[in-house]
Structures are given as C-alpha cells and as structure tokens.
C-alpha cells in the first residue's frame, strides 16, 4: 500500500490551478444515462473516484471515450445491462446515483447499496422515498435496491426531511424524464447542484431553482447531446488555502470561483490571512505569521462546509489560542483527532464527540499516521507539513479518491513530500 512521506517545516508559497470539481463530474456521469445521444464533459479531474465511475458505466455497456486532456465523452445509448454491482458501488457513494437515471430512462435498475468514507450512516432513505413518490416500485434484498417503473415515472412533490446534497441531485436528475412537473422542497443549495442543473438543461431538461430551497422540474420526453465544463473544485481550493495559512505562507489559486468559498475565506481572514479576491482567483498571504485559532460550526452550503472541517482543525492545532469546531453534518467525522494527537496536537472531544476544542502548540511532531477517510487524510498531510521531522501517512488511497496529484501540487508550493512505493512484506 502506497504512503506519503513528508519532511515538515516548509512555508508554502506559489501558484496553483484548481482542478475540476469531482462531486460535479461524478453526478454528471450518472446524469449522462438520461441522454439518447453522446455528451461530453470537460475539466474532469484525474482521480480514483472518477476512474471507478467510468468503470461502472463501462460495466453497464456504456461507451466512454477519454482523451489526453480528460475530456470524457459518454455514449449511454450503447447500454446493455441495468445492474450496478457491489464490487464498484461499495467503494464510492456517488455511484448509487445511477439508480434514478437508469430507472427514468429504461424503466428498471438494480444497484448495490453504497459504500464510501466511513463518516457515519449516511442513509439513502431520502433517495428511495423520493423515487417512490415519482411512482417507482422499490424492493431491497441481498444488499441491492431493485427499482422498476414499467409505465414510466410521474411528477410529484417531494419534501426532504433535511438538506441532502445527494438526494437533491439524484431526484432532480431522475425527475427530468418523469411525466409532468416535479417540485423538490428543502433542497440542498451547493454549487455542484447548480452545475448539475446547468448540465441537465444543456441536454434538454427543464430545471429551474437550483441553488435555492425549491427546485422545479418539468419532465421532457427525451434528452440529447451537449458539451459542458465542470466548475472548479472548491474543496480542493479551500484545502490548499488552509494548508498555506497553517504554514504561515502565501498562495494564489487560479481557476476558482471565490463566491463558492465565502464562509471559508471569512474564517481564514479571522485566522489572520490577507485575502485578495478576483473574478477567478484567490490570493492568501499570512506574511510569515502564525495563524490565530478559529471557531466554527459546519452546516450545509453556504455555511462552513463539513468537507473542510478536518483541514482547518489541522491549522488550529498550530495556531495561537484555542478554537472550538462543532460538526453538525456527519457523525463520526473526528477520526483524524486521534492521529493528530499522536503528533502532539492538543485536541479535546466533548458533547458526544460532536465538538472538538483545540489548543494550539508551536509545532507538531512528525509521526507515522493512518488515514481513515478522504478529508481526514488530507488534514494529516497539512499536519505533516507543519510538524518537525518526518511524517509517514498510510492508506493514502483515500487521498487519491479526491485530490489530483496531491504531492506534485504541494511540491510546486515548496513542500518536501513524496510518495513511497508499497512495502514488501
């Protein structure tokens, strides 16, 4: 199993270009199953999760063409099978979202219950209840969801019990081929949902209200070809901004939408960073100073994102003062705390492990640590960058699921980091 070796103590500085948003691209791959003609998706990041989704489409008989710039052309009309197997769905939760498009377009689908990061139960009941509201017949057995709609889906009203990103995206794309109008209420508002809606509309869908609490979809009989460029990855951009702040460095992120990161930029300013925002770039400069600890509560967009919680905790571990981080989106998302404590971090968990109080120390100590999920793994990278000595991070396949060329990008900023080959046992 590959590992990352980090020699800490380097101040990050330089420029990076944000990759495309994997959370947009993955849902667009699923949505492509709605089309009768080929669609092309560009600015797709080269990641393990992207490869897994492509493998899933190919397993269904879909033709996928990839060029050297990671432009992905998907021909869904070559589909031969309607079953998404456990072997692929277990590794990535987003793959579950092929269920609705397959059902809407072909009247049948069989998809394994999803896997992905171990950050809580993350149930799919909102997805299934919504599909049933559109007329689907759902059967669950042997770890699979079997759905059928031999007479097609019918539009309806669906009110989510809570703001679910995956549920909003899944039912929004499914409703595009449902007869009549569908109204989704209490929707998540993330930029990736707006990006997906724009993609669907380019294919001929009639979606309005994406990015707001209520989304309306007027069903169409068929959907056709289009070309679409994926938005920049706000989580990747935020991760590198936080890493630079933690080291007291300076960085410019290009090809990014600053409006997608307002809550994060506010916290970085609070930490002492000078932030300069332009139309498609963000510059951060700590002027060599140690960051100040910040407190925050994670919440759905546009508030502070759960996917950047572990990263800013790593910054807090070496910041001046104390900060409280409260996680409200997922349970069990403080698994990085134990590993950071091994590096000398002072973190106290309280309130049934939903809040963590950090007291900053001047420096962490390098140590062997283990990644437990995607965002926790990259927080350990940040901890390694600000630690004295060497840090070795194991199970980095988590990082490869969501961060394109992580060591190359950090090397460009001056980090001493390299990938180690698997150990021979």
Nearest to 347 by CA among 364, 360, 335: 360
Read off the tokens for 375. 């965002």
Give the CA distances from residue 233 to residues 143, 245, 374, 403, in Å, rounded to whole numbers and listed in that order.
Answer: 32, 19, 15, 10
Read off the tokens for 376. 């926790």
Read off the tokens for 176. 């595009």
Strand-pairing partners, residue 84, are: 111
**81 backbone dihedrals φ, ψ, rounded to 5°:** -130, 160
Contact status, residue 215 vs residue 258, Cβ threshold 8 Å: no
Crossing angle for the helix pair 99-106 and 22-31, to the nearest 10 degrees = 20
What secondary structure letter does DSSP report for 76? G
Q: What is the distance, to the nearest Å, from the Cα of residue 249 to the centroid of all Cα atoms in its chain?
A: 25
Nearest to 415 by CA among 243, 277, 287: 243
Contact status, residue 3 vs residue 420, Cβ threshold 8 Å: yes
Using only C-alpha atoms, the chain has a radius of gyration, in whole angstroms, of: 22
Is residue 425 packed enough to be buried (19+ CB in 10 Å), middle (13-18) or exposed (0-12)?
Answer: exposed
User: Does 176 participate in catalysis according to the annotation?
Assistant: no
Crossing angle for the helix pair 165-174 and 99-106, to the nearest 10 degrees = 10
Read off the tokens for 100. 């609705």
Q: Which residue among 117, 176, 187, 317 is the active-site one?
A: 117
Contact status, residue 308 vs residue 375, Cβ threshold 8 Å: yes
Cis before 71? omega within 30: no
State the sign of the Cα–Cα–Cα–Cα dihedral 224, 230, 231, 233. positive
What secondary structure letter does DSSP report for 13? E
C-alpha to C-alpha distance for 78 and 36, rounded to whole angstroms: 9
Contact status, residue 179 vs residue 206, Cβ threshold 8 Å: no
Q: Give me the active site residues, please.
A: 117
């Amino acid at each position: 199993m590959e590992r990352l070796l980090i020699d800490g103590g380097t101040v990050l500085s330089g420029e990076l270009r944000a990759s495309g948003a994997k959370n947009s691209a993955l849902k667009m791959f699923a949505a492509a199953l709605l089309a009768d003609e080929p669609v092309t998706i560009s600015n797709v990041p080269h990641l393990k999760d992207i490869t897994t989704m492509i493998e899933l489409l190919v397993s269904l008989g879909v033709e996928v063409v990839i060029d050297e710039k990671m432009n992905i052309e998907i021909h869904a009309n070559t589909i031969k099978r309607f079953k998404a197997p456990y072997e692929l769905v277990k590794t990535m939760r987003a793959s579950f979202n092929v269920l609705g498009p397959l059902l809407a377009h072909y009247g049948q689908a069989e998809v394994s219950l999803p896997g992905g990061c171990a950050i809580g139960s993350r149930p799919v009941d909102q997805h299934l209840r919504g599909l049933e509201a559109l007329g689907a017949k759902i059967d669950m057995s042997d770890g699979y969801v079997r759905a059928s709609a031999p007479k097609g889906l019918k539009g309806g009203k669906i009110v989510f019990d809570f703001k679910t990103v995956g549920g909003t995206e899944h039912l929004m794309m499914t409703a595009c081929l449902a007869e009549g109008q569908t109204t989704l209420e209490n929707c998540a508002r993330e930029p990736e949902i707006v990006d997906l809606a724009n993609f669907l509309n380019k294919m001929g869908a009639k979606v309005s209200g994406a990015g707001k609490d209520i989304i309306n979809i007027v069903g169409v009989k068929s959907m056709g070809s289009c070309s679409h460029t994926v938005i920049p990855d706000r989580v990747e951009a935020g991760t590198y901004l936080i890493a630079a702040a933690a080291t007291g460095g300076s960085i410019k992120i290009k090809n990014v939408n600053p409006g997608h990161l307002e809550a994060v930029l506010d916290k970085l300013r609070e930490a002492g960073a000078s932030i300069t925002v332009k139309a498609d770039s963000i510059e951060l400069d700590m002027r060599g100073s140690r960051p100040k600890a910040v407190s925050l509560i994670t919440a759905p967009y546009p508030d502070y994102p759960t996917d950047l919680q572990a990263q800013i905790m790593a910054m807090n571990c070496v910041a001046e003062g104390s900060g409280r981080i409260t996680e409200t989106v997922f349970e069990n998302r403080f698994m990085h705390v134990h590993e950071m404590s091994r590096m000398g971090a002072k973190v106290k968990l309280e309130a049934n492990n939903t809040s963590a109080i950090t007291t900053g120390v001047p420096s962490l100590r390098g140590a062997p640590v283990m990644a437990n999920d995607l965002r926790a793994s990259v927080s350990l990278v940040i901890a390694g960058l600000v630690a004295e000595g060497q840090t070795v991070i194991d199970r980095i396949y988590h990082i490869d699921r969501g961060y394109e060329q992580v060591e190359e990008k950090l090397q460009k900023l001056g980090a001493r980091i390299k990938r180690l080959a698997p150990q021979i046992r």
